[in-house]
Structure 1
Amino acid sequence: MWTPDDTYAIARIDLPSASTHGWQVRLQRRGEKFGKYFADRQCGGSRASYRAAKAWRDALVERLKEQDQAPRICLKSARNSSGVVGVSKVAVSASNGETYYFWQATWCPEPGQRRCVKFSIRRHGDRKAFRLAVEARREGVAS
């Protein structure tokens, strides 16, 4: 599991002309920006403001990790027929010429690895196959 290094998303701000000294945390996830400034003067010095910035950043990263494990609901587009990231409807053509339809869940358990599982619409019905794919994706991302 990924953990941030000591300076990830933390930058030192020193502007003597504006009497501004402190640490700034800036992160962006899924288009949403997060940021907070920790002034040396208000925190009790440079080391204390850095510790406060790091603690805030670590808490934010943990909160974002929890959000990242939940399936994302998004607007439907030409590239996403289900509205759930990592879940798609696929058609497989058999050698006998028949086409079979599935709901497929896809996720990456680790960098460079990809997992997918298909649920037959013929066997489970459209709604149940979709629900099974969403649940498989959720479990696969969480593990």
Structure 2
Amino acid sequence: MSQPDPNYAIARIDLPDAGTHGWQVRLQRRGIKYAKFFGDRVHGHPEHALLAARRWRNALLEKLTDQARICERSPRNSSGVVGVSKITVSAANGTTYHFWQATWSPAPGQRRCVKFSIKRYGDREAFQRAVEARTEGIND
């Protein structure tokens, strides 16, 4: 199993014309965006700013993980399979596409998602492929 990226959700920001140098942490969970900038000058050195960004990110992930819901079958689950759902995507031109989607979390802080077109595979086969993809994903 590979090691998680130590700079997950952290990006380097260097804008010399604006005098901005530092590390930006950006995460989104359940539609809520979290962001914080860690300037080199404030922290005394780029490496110190990076360490502060990692600490903040880790504390945020821990807090968000503690709040995560337990995956149980919900009355809102119409597929009958946790992590498999039927979704509709609307393109900018107004065309709608229908998929069966499988989602899973291979490791803390990671999310995987795969969609299977109902138009291409038909409803039953797209659903079955989504179920298989999720099963394989959580067993890897």
Q: TM-score, normalised by structure 1?
A: 0.50
**In structure 2, what is the Cα distance between the partners aligned to 1:41 and 1:17?**
15
Residue by residue, what CA displacement relative to the aligned partner does 1:60-93 show, whole Å, maximum 9, x if unpaired? 111111111357xxxxxxxxxxxxx741289xxx
User: Superposed, which structure 2 residues align to 1:59-74 within 5 Å?
Assistant: 59-70=59-70
Instruction: Specify the alignment match of 1:17 in structure 2.
Output: 17
**In structure 2, what is the Cα distance between the partners aligned to 1:33 and 1:20?**
22
**In structure 2, what is the Cα distance between the partners aligned to 1:70 and 1:50?**
32
State the shift of 1:31 in Å. Answer: 0.3
Instruction: Specify the alignment match of 2:87 in structure 1.
Output: none
Instruction: Specify the alignment match of 1:51 in structure 2.
Output: 51
**In structure 1, what is the Cα distance between the partners aligned to 2:49 and 2:39?**
6
Residue by residue, what CA displacement relative to the aligned partner does 1:29-67 show, whole Å, maximum 9, x if unpaired? 000000000000001110000000011001111111111
Instruction: Specify the alignment match of 1:8 in structure 2.
Output: 8
User: Superposed, which structure 2 residues align to 1:1-143 within 5 Å?
Assistant: 4-70=4-70, 86-88=73-75, 106=82, 112-113=134-135
Instruction: Specify the alignment match of 1:123 in structure 2.
Output: none
Task: Report which of the two structures shows the higher radius of gyration computed on alpha carbons.
Answer: 1
Q: TM-score, normalised by structure 2?
A: 0.51
What's the secondary structure of 1:68's corresponding residue? Answer: coil
Aligned 8 A contact 1:26 1:34 in 2: yes
**In structure 2, what is the Cα distance between the partners aligned to 1:11 and 1:25?**
7
What's the secondary structure of 1:62's corresponding residue? Answer: helix
Q: Which amino acid in 2 is paired with 1:55? A: R
Give RMSD over aligned pairs: 3.2
Aligned 8 A contact 1:15 1:21 in 2: yes
Residue by residue, what CA displacement relative to the aligned partner does 1:81-111 show, whole Å, maximum 9, x if unpaired? xxxx741289xxxxxxxxxxxxx79469875
Q: Which amino acid in 2 is paired with 1:18? A: A
Aligned 8 A contact 1:24 1:53 in 2: yes
What's the secondary structure of 2:37's corresponding residue? Answer: strand
